[in-house]
């Protein structure tokens, strides 16, 4: 069936998107032709959707707005949890790198202490009990912030204290 008032149709679709140009006759009114297109073709079709979803643990019929709000809330929670997890992992990694930097500054005394210790357990106890010089690592740690690399589980007696580092 042909809609009255249309003189030509042109398909101007390309790789960027779809575009169809409808030219109307000189004596036709554009709004009337558009209304005829809506009513006589599938240019405007409405259909119902049964949007039942689990919302806060209960099945519920959601409107489109409620569905979008629930999705945005869910995505915000996912991104927040992921960011907190990645921050915790980054702090743990930074803590290890911080300890390695302190070990590099004090490499000779650390090697000597390990060689003198009769067992690995005693070497570990001696390493933990001694306060180590910060050296040039102090400036790097000050720029990052003293607690930037401090994991949540680390006890307060470890880390920078009284101008020294405690492993």
Q: Mind listing the pLDDT tens digit for each residue in 95-107?
A: 888 889 899 999 9
- Give me the architecture of the 53-166 domain, per CATH: Orthogonal Bundle (1.10)
Where are the chain's structural domains? 6-40, 53-166
Which range has highest mean pLDDT (17-21, 40-44, 79-83)?
Answer: 79-83
Please tell me the number of Cα atoms within 13 Å of 140 on its side-chain side.
Answer: 12
- 11 to each of 24, 44, 92, 144, 165, how far by Cα in Å? 15, 19, 59, 59, 73
- Going by pLDDT thresholds of 50, 70 and 90, the confidence category of residue 40 is confident
Q: Model-level pTM?
A: 0.62
């Amino acid at each position: 069936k042909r809609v009255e008032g249309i003189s030509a149709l042109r398909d101007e679709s390309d790789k960027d998107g779809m575009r169809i140009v409808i030219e109307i006759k000189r004596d036709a009114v554009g709004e009337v032709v558009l209304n005829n297109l809506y009513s006589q073709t599938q240019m405007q079709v409405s259909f119902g959707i049964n949007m039942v979803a689990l919302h806060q643990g209960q099945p519920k019929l959601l409107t489109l707005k409620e569905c979008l709000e629930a999705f945005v809330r869910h995505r915000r929670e996912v991104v927040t949890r992921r960011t907190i997890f990645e921050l915790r992992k980054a702090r743990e990694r930074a803590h290890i790198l911080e300890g390695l930097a302190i070990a590099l500054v004090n490499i000779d005394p650390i090697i000597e202490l390990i060689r003198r210790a009769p067992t690995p357990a005693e070497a570990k106890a001696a390493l933990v009990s001694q306060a180590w010089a910060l050296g040039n690592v102090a400036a790097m740690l000050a720029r990052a912030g003293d607690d930037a690399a401090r994991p949540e589980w680390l006890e307060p007696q470890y880390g920078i204290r009284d101008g020294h580092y405690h492993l």
